[in-house]
Amino acid sequence: MAGHSKWANIQHRKGRQDAIRSKLFSKLSKEITVAAKMGDPDPEKNPRLRMAVKEAKSQSVPKDVIDRAIKKSTAGDGDEYEEIRYEGYGVNGVAVIVEAMTDNRNRTASNVRSTFTKSGGNLGETGSVSFMFDRTGEIVYDVSAGDADTVLMAAIEAGADDVESSEEEHVIYCLDTDLNAVSTALEAELGENVTAKLIWKPTMTTELDLEGMEKLMKLVDALEDDDDVQRVTTNFEASDEVMSQL
């Protein structure tokens, strides 16, 4: 029975992981469709689509799924999505930015507000927390791209603002408006990147203990479980000890 129970637990975890993966693929496909519809369906002529496809590939989205998402943008029978940003506060005043893509603004607003309330947070007005972040371009390279000095020099030449190198990766930051130009210049020097995308980079953070992190993760998980929510960003800070206990 113990073996059966273990197998059941493994199956349960795998089922959960498969569901998460399917939801991620769906959200990435939606971003590709919207990007293609807003511009040219050719990624080489559409910077936003190029980045969306790159992000999808980095998450192992199959090529046929990416191709279908692009074709859907030209079919004329797809849903019309609009992009909406929600801002609010989680536990201990942690800032939370929710980026959504929806075909029903009322449904999404209601769901997001309800999720904040159930998780002990508060949904605020637009601009209520975004002042604590910079809208920034983020380009990630694997360590195989070169050592820290090589990547730093390439980033400076490409017009980037900052580089953070670790044993696992190089993270390069630039102005949001320069993301396509900087990533293109870097690819000429360092080769293909892992991802290139726009992010909300915190300029101030709120430190949480283990209990606070558990409550925040409950909010973030619930938000990300919503089909309309594309991504969630927070400005939490936690010690290595707290993170290891999560």
Last residue of a domain, one of 28, 56, 75: 75
Say whether both 127 and 23 belong to one domain. Answer: no
Q: Quote the percentage of the chain above a pLDDT of 90.
A: 69
pLDDT of residue 240: 85
Say whether both 66 and 165 belong to one domain. Answer: no
Say whether both 87 and 56 belong to one domain. Answer: no
Asked if residue 72 has pLDDT above 70, the reply is yes
Last residue of a domain, one of 43, 75, 107: 75
Asked if residue 210 has pLDDT above 80, the reply is yes
Say whether both 97 and 126 belong to one domain. Answer: yes
Say whether both 57 and 155 belong to one domain. Answer: no
Asked if residue 17 has pLDDT above 90, the reply is no
DSSP string, the chain: -HHHHHHHHHHHHHHHHHHHHHHHHHHHHHHHHHHHHHS-SSGGG-HHHHHHHHHHHHTT--HHHHHHHHHHHHHS-S---EEEEEEEE-GGG-EEEEEEEES-HHHHHHHHHHHHHHTT-EEE-TTTTGGGEEEEEEEEEEGGG--HHHHHHHHHHHT-SEEEE-SSEEEEEEEGGGHHHHHHHHHHHH---SEEEEEEEESS-EE--HHHHHHHHHHHHHHHTSTTEEEEEE-EE--HHHHHH-
Instruction: Read off the pLDDT of each residue in 99-126 and give the average, rounded to a whole number.
Output: 94
Judged by average pLDDT, the poorest of 7-16, 118-127, 196-205 is: 7-16
Instruction: Read off the pLDDT of each residue in 182-195 and give the average, rounded to a whole number.
Output: 93
pTM, full prediction:
0.83
Using CA atoms, how far residue 188 sits from 150, 157, 220, in Å, is 14, 11, 37
Asked if residue 81 has pLDDT above 50, the reply is yes
Asked if residue 161 has pLDDT above 70, the reply is yes
Query: Which single residue is written with the structure tokens 């942690």?
Result: 94
Of the candidates 91, 24, 19, the one whose C-alpha atom is nearest the C-alpha of residue 235 is 91
CATH number at 6 reads: 1.10.10.200
Instruction: Read off the pLDDT of each residue in 143-167 and give the average, rounded to a whole number.
Output: 95
pLDDT of residue 24: 87
Q: How many domains does one find in the chain? A: 2
Say whether both 104 and 153 belong to one domain. Answer: yes
Residue 224 domain boundaries: 82-246
CA dist 88 and 116 (Å) reads: 8
Asked if residue 207 has pLDDT above 80, the reply is yes
Say whether both 36 and 112 belong to one domain. Answer: no
Instruction: Read off the pLDDT of each residue in 127-138 and give the average, rounded to a whole number.
Output: 95
Say whether both 115 and 135 belong to one domain. Answer: yes
Most confident among 52-56, 77-81, 86-90, 235-239 (mean pLDDT)? 86-90
Asked if residue 1 has pLDDT above 80, the reply is no
Last residue of a domain, one of 28, 51, 75: 75
CATH number at 110 reads: 3.30.70.980
Asked if residue 136 has pLDDT above 60, the reply is yes
Say whether both 68 and 88 belong to one domain. Answer: no
Say whether both 136 and 191 belong to one domain. Answer: yes
Say whether both 54 and 103 belong to one domain. Answer: no
pLDDT of residue 12: 45
Question: Cα dihedral sign for 103, 105, 110, 115?
Answer: positive
Say whether both 47 and 102 belong to one domain. Answer: no
The alpha-carbon radius of gyration of the chain (Å, integer) is 20
Asked if residue 200 has pLDDT above 90, the reply is yes
Neighbouring C-beta atoms of residue 207, cutoff 10 Å = 13
